[in-house]
Every structure is written in C-alpha cells, then in structure tokens.
Structure 1
Amino acid sequence: MNVIWARSVAILVSLTVVATGLYVFAGPVSGLLFLCIALFLLLGYYLFQINRLWKVLDAPAYGEIPSALGLWGEVYYRLHRLVKRWRTQVLQVEQQHTRFIQAIQASPYGVLMLDDADQIEWCNDVAEQHFGLNAKRDVRQRITHLIRRPEFVHYLTRERYDEPLIMRDMGEHKRSSTSVQILPYGENRKLVLTQDITKVENTEAMRRDFVANVSHELKTPLTVLTGFLETVRDLPVSEEDRKRYIDMMLVQSMRMQHIVEDLLALAKLESDVQPPTLDPVDVGGLAAHLVHDAEALSQGRHDIHAEIDTAVVLRGSEGELLSALGNLVSNAVRYTPDGGRIAIRMTYTDGHSVFSVSDTGLGIAPEHIPRLTERFYRVDRSRSRDTGGTGLGLAIVKHVLSRHHADLRVTSEVGRGSTFRIVFPVDRSGYEPESAQPMPQLGDAPRHAA
C-alpha cells in the first residue's frame, strides 16, 4: 500500500474512531452528526485542493507548485518532483536542439528541410546565401515558387537524386557553381544539401590548363628536335649545317631542361609544409648574385643600376629568395629592349624590407596583371619563348613569397615599363646600420635556382 492510500485509510479510521466514541458516550445523534460534519469538511477540503491542482495542471508554463498539509502535501510534493524531472529533460532536449542547430549553422554546407508538400520548414544561413532565401520570410513557402530555375524544378520533380545537380550563377554570388543534392527522409520529407564548388571547379580548370600547357610547352621543342634529328639522319647535310642543327637542338633541349627544373622547383615549394627559417640572409651577397646574373643575361645591352642598402636585414631561406628575386631580375632583362634601363633596389621602409626591380621595357596592360603568377601565363607568348622564358618564373615567385608571407605588388604602364616590388613582413625585416658593408664583387656566379 502506497503512502496516499495509507494516509487516506488512516484519516477515515481516525474519524470513525472519534464518531464511535461520541456514539457510545454522547449518544447516536452526536456521533452521526460529528461524522457527517467531518466528512463534509473533508470533502470541501478535497474539492478546494482539487481546484488548486486543476489550476496547476492547466497553467501554460512552468510555475511554483503549491504546498499543503497532510495527504495533499504528499501529492504536491510528488507532482513537484515529477514536473522538475520533466523540466530538466525538456531543457536537455532544448540544449541538444540548440547545439544541433548551431552545428548546422557552422557547417560550410547549405541545409534546407522540406515537408511532404515541398514547403520550406527550415534552412541555415548558407542555404539562404546559395538560394537567395530568407528563412523567416520564406518559411512554409513552396520551394518551386521561390527557386524557379527549370533544372532545379526538373531535378526535384523527377525524384532521381542519385547524382547532385550543378547550378551556376545563383544566389548572392554570381559566377559561382553550387552542387545541390536532395535526400528523402521521414514521411515524404526531403533534405536539400548545397555546397559551393566554385573553387573546386576553378582548381580542376587550372589542372586541365596546366596539363595542356605543359604538353604544349614540351611538344614544341620535341617537335623541333625530332625534325632536326630526322633531317640529320636521312638527308646529306654539310658540316656547317650539321653544326647549326646541333646548336638549335641543344637550345631546345636546354629549354625543356629548364621547364623540367622549374616544375620540380614548384613541386618542391608546394610540398614543403615547413615554413622557412628566420635566419638572416646575406643581403649584399644576394644582391651581388642578382646583379651578376642580370649583367650576364644582358651581355651589355642594358643599363643595369643597383641601389642596395646592405644595412637592411632580411630573414628567410636564402636559396628560395635568390630564386624568386632572380626570376624578377631576369624577366626585367628579357622584356626590356636593348638600350633600356633596369634598376634593382633593396630598401627599408616603415618597418618592412622592400626589394624592387624597375625596367623601361614593354610594360603590361592592367588586365594581365592579376594573372601574371599563373603557371605558363604569358602576356606575349612568342616573345617569351624567344627570350628563353619557361612561363613558370612568376609562379615560383608567388610560392616563395607565400612561404615568406611577403606581398608582390606590380605597377606597370604599356610602353613605359614595369616595377615589381616585394614587401616583406615585419618579422622577416630589420635594419642594422652598424652591420652595413659594401656590396661584394663576384666572379662567375652560378645561375640562380629555377
């Protein structure tokens, strides 16, 4: 027997005992009158407590549980404990729901939930951006009334969702590509997942262009080599022509070798996840190598001027920096007509070490500047090949500077020349006047890497 039944029986037994005592000692009228009055008061008390309990159960929100004496005190206590346990469970479910929503909102994927009538039940911020929706305004709206693209309507209605749908130029961002896939769940409900694949498609396009460009760059010298070899093998040629053919084949083979070397240098830079050290670089020696390479490449056809402040401190990988800066200098020589002027500078400005190469060459049109560091991208393909360029120099520059957290800034005017300026970060820059020394003179310096 539980507590409530025990207390109820105890109350009734107590009233019966008292009524029996009055019946024996005061007469039957007194006993029955007491029993009737007691039961009437007990019934009124029960009705009062039942009314209180009804108000508590009918309350729209959680509130305080009333207190009472005796049997109803036990009822209210147990009800309070039950409500508290339920409230704790509800709060836990609400917290889990909130965390779930926060996790979906933090996801880079768009999530949109449709009911059995293809009406929007909920969507996260990413889905709003992809489809140009507003979650509060568009809830309970049929999705095909808001997204009227024929390909999406056809994809939704044909109910074949094995492969995602690729939609382009949609939402807030134009020139974008979005992958849309529908996953049925529950009772005729649908989960719409979206993903911005613009970068993936751009990367794939760059990969295709890279393969095509490598094939083209290697095919040209291979064709020349094959033609000359067949000529030397099958036709009688003079010793002078033979020597000329061999020299031309040597030029083409060296060009292929340089392309392979630059590709290997790029692969090494991309695969090296360790940042360059912060060891000081010999700025004077570095500048001397650059000037020597520029003079060797120019063969006296240009006026090469160097303004190197050897008090500038530069920290990083000397080999990588020699490769990057050397590519900028060699480009300036290659694309500057005979008699032009090339200025190589190393300065310290506003806490940053700054290297720059200026020339009076052909210049670059503004529309080409953003793409200069792409692999095999050339403003003038024929001139680049004539000057011995591989089309990979500025791509190497980009990767080296990225590893050193440096910025490449290009200013140019067609017909008047260009300036390539590298600004190194503060942690890789410095200035020590007491350590300044004259720039050393080099003999035959080796060709810079890449």
Structure 2
Amino acid sequence: MATTPLTLIIFNFYLPQSGALPIPNLPIEAEEPLVFLLSAIPWVMAGGMVGVAGAGLVGLASGFMLGMFVTHSLFTPLEVAGLALIYDAAVRQCYRTGFFRWLRQPFVAAVLLSLVYIPVFLLIAFLSIPGILAERLDYALAQNWMQVFAKILPLYAAGFLAQLVYWIFPLLWPRPAKLTPSPAETSLQTRFMTITLPMVLILVLVLTLADWLVAGYAARQMMEDRLGNTTRIAAESVPYFLEAGQSFILNMATSDLVNLPDDAVEDELAYNIKAVSYFHQLTLFDAAGAIRGSYPQSSFSLNDLTDEEELAIGLAIKGIRLQIYTVPPASTETGGNISFIAAILDEAGIAQGVLLGRADLKINPFTQPALTALASLGADGGEGFILDDAGQILYRTSESTALSSMDLYIDKVNDQPVFFEDFSPTGTRQLVYYQPVVGRPWAVVATMPARVAQQTSLEIAVPLLAILGLFTMLAYLMLRFSLGSVTQTLKQLGGQATRIAQGELSSAAPVTGADEIGALGKSFEQMRLSLKARLDELNKLLNVSQGVAAKLDIYDAVHPILEAALSEDAISARAVLIQGVRMDIAGDKLVTIGAGPVADQFSHLDSQVFELMRQQEVLTIQNTTRVRRISSLDHQLHPAALIGLALYHENTYYGALWIGYQKPRQFEDEEVRFLSTLAGEAAVAAANANLYASAEIGRRRLEAVLTSNPEPIMVFDDKDRLLLLNPAALQVTGLIATPTVGLPAQEVVSSAELAALLTGPIELRIATREVKLPNGNIYHASVAPVMGENQQIGKVCVMRDISHYKELDSIKSDFVATVSHDLRSPLALMRGYTTMMSMVGELNDQQKSYVAKMVHGIEDMSRLVNNLLDLGRLDSGIKLKLSQLQPGVLVEQVINQLTPQANQKKIRLAFEPPEEELPSDLTADVALIQQALINLVENAIKYTKVGGEVIVRLELQDNKLAFQVTDSGIGIAPLDLPRLFEKFYRSERREAHEQRGTGLGLAIVKSIAERHGGEVVVESQLGKGSVFTLRIPLQEHPPVKPLVGMPQNKG
C-alpha cells in the first residue's frame, strides 16, 4: 500500500489521439489519454500474495489516489477496489479444469479481467458525463476507446510482472493445495450456461455496438441530407440576389439622376426604393465624392461609410463601373448589408457621380427563401450562416452566436461542399455542412447539434435494441427452463443409476418421451431389466459355483445346475455323464441326473443326446415335431423344443446337459450364453467328480501299498507336518514318538538325527542318512521331495533296516584293512627287487618292457592300498586335525604341485581368486582338504583333452566355502552321475577306461567333505566338461559319521 503513490509518479506517458473529442457540453479541449503504467502493480501483487482483504484495501487506496488527483470521480475507488477483488478471486480460486488452471496464471487473469473491465468502464463513462441520454450513450459506445486502452494497459504491465514473480519466486505466490470441481463440472446447466452465456453476451454487445453504429450512421446521413438540402436552397438564391442587385443599381445610375437638381435627387431616390423594394438605402455622390442626396436616411454623412465603401467610391470616380462590398452585421443584428457601388459615366466614360445602394440581407425579398430555409434549422437547435469571400458572417439565424464565430469557418472556404463535425465555443459537438455559392466566392453554412443526430440514432436503435434485449431475455428464460427440465430428467436418471448401483432394480425409470432424453430413459430401463436379468443369472451362477466348489458328489453338485437351467417354459433339465464321475457304478452305464416336473419321462432321450453332443457343442431344436429321430418315437413323450450342450473340460468329454421345453421356441443368444455357462459349471463339476473318484481310487491303492510294505514310510507336507505313515512305521520300536497327523516332524519321530534330516532343506535331490534307533538297529533313511507344478509340496521318508549290512560292511572293512596292511611289505619288496634287476645285468628291450610293466602294476597296487587305508581311516571316524585354513594358499599349492602334469597335456591350469574377501577364521583338516582338492584337480586334468583348460575358483555360497573345479573335458553321462562317488565305480564309457584309476578318488573326496559337515556335488554335460564343487561350512562343525548313499545332482 505504501508503494501506491510512487506508482502514480513514475513511468507515466500520454497516448497519441488525433481528432479526440472532449466531454460533451463542457467548454474544455480534448485531452490525450494519460497512462499510469505502474498504477495496477500494488493491488495485482496484493491479490496474489496477500489475499482478498489485502487486495481490496490496496485497490481502494489506489483508486482513492487516482480519483483524487487524476479522474476526480467518485466511481474510481470503487472501480479499482472491485477490480482488485475480482483479480484476487481469479488467481486464488482452486478449481481444477483447464480454463481455471490458466486463469490462475497472473497474466492470463489480467487479460481476462481487462475484457471484463471494458463494459464496466463504458457504464462508468455513461453515468459520469453530463448531457442527454443519446449524448452519453454515444460518448460511451463510440468515442471513448482510447481511454479504455489507457486504463487496461497498466493492468497488462502488472500482470506481466506478476507472472514473472509467479515463475521465479513460487513461494511468494501461493498455489492451491487441493483442487476442487468447478461449478461447470458439478452442474450440466451451469456448464452449458458458462459456455453459451459469454457467447450470447458478446453477441449482444457486438449487435448493440453494430446497431448503434448503424443507427448513428443512418442518423448522420439523414442529418447530412437535411443540412445539405437547406444550404443548397440558400446557396441557389444568393446569386440571384446579387445579380438582381447589380441590375437594379445599374439601371438607377444614369446621367439623368446626376443632372437632377439637389432638391429632386432625394425624391428620385425615394421613388427608386419604393419602385424596386430591393435597397433599403440609396445615396448619390458627385464626381468629387460629396453627398448630393440620400434616402431614406437624409442625414447620411461620410462618417456612415465603411472603409470598403469609401475605397469603392474612390475607385468608382476613377471609372470602375460596378463594385459590390459586404458589411457584417452589428453585434445586436443577425443580418449584414450588401453595398452595391455603381459609377455614373458620361458618353466619354468620365465619372459624373457615384450611386451607393445598400441591401439588407435580413429584409430583402430576394433572400427570404434562403433565410426561411436556414431559419427552419432553429427548431432543432441548429443555425445557418451566409459567409462572404473572406469568411465573414453576413447572416446568422441566431443572435446568440458571436460574430467571432466566423473564424471557425475561414479555413473551410472551399469550392466544394463539405460535411464535418466541429465544436461550438460552448463545447457542444455539432455537425456542420459547408455549401459554396455557385459563381460567387460566398458560402452558406448550416450547423446542427450532434445530439440531434444522436437522438435520431437512439430513436432508430432503441426499437432494435429493445427487440434484441427482449429476445435475449426470452432466449435466456427458455434456455434456462429447457435446461432445467433436461437437468431434472438427468437427475432422475442419475438417481435411477444410483439405485441401480445400490442394487435396487425393482423400480422402473420414470422418463418418458420420444426424444433423446426419452431414448436415454428407455436405454436406462432396458439396462435395468437387462442388469436385473443378468444379476439373477449371476445369483444362479454363484449358487451353482458354490455348490460345485463345495460338493464333490456329482448328484449334489449337478442338481442345482439343473434347477438353475429351468426357466418359465422349461419342464425338464437333464445331465447325462460318463461312468467315471462315480466310483460305485460298474460297467459302461451312464450317470443320469434330472430336474423338473416331467424330467424322468424324457429319460429315453439321454443316450441319443449323449451321442449327438460328442460331435457338436450346442444343439438347438426349436420344434421337435420336425426332427424325425425324436418325433418318430411312438408311445413315448418328448418335449416340444430342446437345447443340448456338450460338457467339455480341458478337451475331455464328460457328457451333455439338455433342457426340454413345453412349447416350441426361438433360442436367444443371451439364453444360449447363460446355458453355456451352466454347462461349463456342470463340466467342471463332472471333472471334479472324476478327479475325486480317480484320486480316491488312487488313495486307496496307495494306502494298500503302504500297508503292505514292511518298511517304515512317512509322508510330510511342505510345512514338515505329518500326513501319513504306514503300520510298519508304528511297529518299529523307538521310531515314532507321537503318531498324530498334523504334528511337526520333531514331535513325530524320536530320533533328533532323523528329525534334522526331515526338517532340513533337500531342494530337488534325495537326502539320505544312517540313523541309529534306541533299539540298536541302524536304518538307512531316504528323504525325497514331493513335487507339484515345479514346487515342493511335501516329503516322503522311506527307512530300510541295514543293521545286517552294517555288520557285513564292518567285517569287509576289517578284512580290507588287514589285507591292505599285509600287502604293503610284499609290494615294497617286489618293487625293490624289480628296480634292482637292471643292476644284475644288461636287459634287452623286451625285458625292460616287462620290468616297466611290473613297476607300473606295483605302483597301481600301492596306490590302491594307500587309498583303501585312507578310506578306512575316514570311515573309522578318527578325529579331524583341525587348524586354520588359508583357502587361497592351499589352492595355489595344489596348482603348483599339479602344473607339470597339466603342462604335459598342454592344459591351462589356472586359479581365479574370489571377488569378495574370505573370512580368516575358517578351520578344517588342512591335509584332508588338500587331498580332496588334489583328487578333484587330478581327475579334471586326467579327463581333459590336450589343449583344454582347468579352472579352480573360490566362492562363498550359502555361508559355505566352495572349492569349484571346472574343466573342459569329456563330460559325464547322466546315467553315471548317481553312482559317481561310490567306491570302485568307474564309467563304462571307452574314454573313461583309457585313463588308469582305482575308482576310489571321488569316494575319498565325498568322505572328506562329509567328515567336515559339507558336501561335494557335480554338474556335467557330455562333450562340454564338468564342474565339481566341494562345499565346507564356515563355522566349525563337530565330526559326523559318514553318510551312506549319494545325493542326486540337479544336473
């Protein structure tokens, strides 16, 4: 608010306006519009930043300053305050439509506000100027547009500045936090009115302006014609008047008049004036310029002559025959005089005297037509003038007009008629018609106040404006009432839609008629009926689906479907199904189910329909009397119409559903679609019953197999809860703690070791373990996953009593250990003597070959004995020698040890260190881990062809340290993978037998891994190589007994 006075001082300028018109009826000059460019900035900024109260106060203060120092109008404070409030409402509204989003932009709001301000400014201009209605209306509508531009230009400047603030400083210009629907969104009537009403108002405004301009043009044209006719009449009489005066004065200026005695001159002059009635003053001068006589003013003297007359008399004495001069009227007179000076010459052309005749324009009979025509303008406030060649007023119809007014027309002297606008000395705008006199440099001027033309234009425009306003009002009322009826109807339809959405489908739509609204109402009614029928169908389908889902008995599941299929004309609904949907039906007998008052009477058609529906999905018989196969059945009832539907589920035919009707009928698409849906539910029910029957039969068979199996078997779900166990499991002492179905495995079995095996992850392989029960027996427990749709859904545990086999294995191990130990000394002796044979004497090549073969055989036997002894120590469960393990150093030692062997086959042997840092507190039996890694790398080198590669990697996998050996060798056949880690097992492939071996290396690796609580797995593809992975847990594990059996690899 403090900046308001400053904005009125700086950046002000005038707009150029040529031909500007002043305010009517005020004696002031028209001023150029003054633009206060910054005057709107305070209240525009306040409207966006402060709010409605601040904007109103700042606008009121700004308007007060403008009104007091600039406009001097009481309307200005209210005008500016109102603009500020409107602008604040525009930029702070929170409506969400595109128009209102743009309206929140400050510059856009300023532009739209300027359009709203134009009619407001015109109204203020209309009310604030003096004059009659026509003058004010003409000034407001046609003469004030530069003032309008001067008013809205500051608004544009303020809007542009506010837009910059809006973009650059968004925190200063609040945005609405939540947008709400606009009035046009909440009401169709409001939306239509907001679209059409501005267009109608613009159209009315344009038509009003056009009507006013056309009426003004017509009135101006009429006024031009009137003034033009008047001035032409007057102008046509002036030459005749002058010519008559010349003729009369020449006829009177004769030598006889000069020769008369002085006492007879006055009588002669009196006679001439009375005889002609043209001159009102005649004066005779002698050759010296002295007055000889005068009439009717006998006392006429030289002092009564004007300067022009004195000059003319002197010229006449010199011989100029005729002269005419004008004498303007006095200030109290309306008409001037015309002086005719004629020289009286003798036969020699010498002036004997001069005759002066004065003619008064006001009373001269020759000028009365012209004066009468000019005087007729006075009835409407107009005036008429006769101007001489100098632009002086010779005649005026009104004494109120000052003689100085002749200055107004001096610059208008022309030889062509001119019609223009001008102002009187009192500031009244008037229309002027300038008509030159033909043959004389005189002119006739007629003026008429502009208000006469404005009043005429108003009289022309008012009827049209009244008709326009009447029609606009009628159109508004008709539009509002018609839209009201439409919106009322739409509200009823909206209420109907709400009731339909709430499920109230009993009441009909109240809209009637044949127009679009009636068609919409009929559509709503059809939608209600269709939706009601559809909901009824859905309710039936819901009940049917619930019955199908809840009941596995085919009779209980299908009977609701048949009941739902019975319509008004349906008297029978039957289902014919295959035998497999029930377990208690033997042979090939079909399962039939019926519903309806006479369903059983049509059972003889079941087999026919069953066979017909194998070849088609839908069978419709609109009139059965026209079908020979059905109508030819003697002494048997048949329906009048029939529709049958095949029951297919997943390309399996389960039977047919058919409905019989009492009368012939046309089957609509909706009815067929509904019955097809019921048929689909019946097919699902039949498929479920068939599956249930098959599953029940399979369950009974499985139960019989489990019951007859002498080995304990337990089945668990995916949550490790007991599902099933056979009688053999209950008979094993110390195996089952609580044989309750649904209990966790930890509570079902007594052995903690077996519980850990049952609850541990098994992924896609079979987990095995030897379990010793409290009764002393040792069982081989095998846990396999039960898979369903690529995911584990349970586990099955099979236990086999291997106590006898363990005793035999122990005896075998003792025997092998004893034999192996006893063989070491003979083998050493044989090796020594064999190597010493070359010392005894020279051996030939054949002998050397025999000795080499003996040495290789002894070395193979030694390796076998050492492997057997190592395997025996591992199987005996000796305690591990745990120490800190450095995996990277260990791998490098193994690679350095086996590099020469790899170089012999040109195999690249490399170590890839892990990307992440390995823990430093890993403990293991370093010698055993090294032995296992040597076996894996040596095997990889052995079965990799020349030029291949073997890569050793270290990784962390599921909290385990993994030694991964990857080769590009010959690969392992899938049939060899399950037995790969068994003792003495070797593949039957030719490529495998080309390499020497004992078949104990991988068994030793497996025993070492299991002694550390880890595992060894293999993935391989023929021709592409193999990947052996030895996993050792990071945390320290207590020694565990060796596992019997072998894991099934994923690959």
**TM bucket by the smaller chain?**
0.3 to 0.5
Task: Provide the TM-score with structure 2 as the length reference.
Answer: 0.20
Task: Provide the TM-score with structure 1 as the length reference.
Answer: 0.44
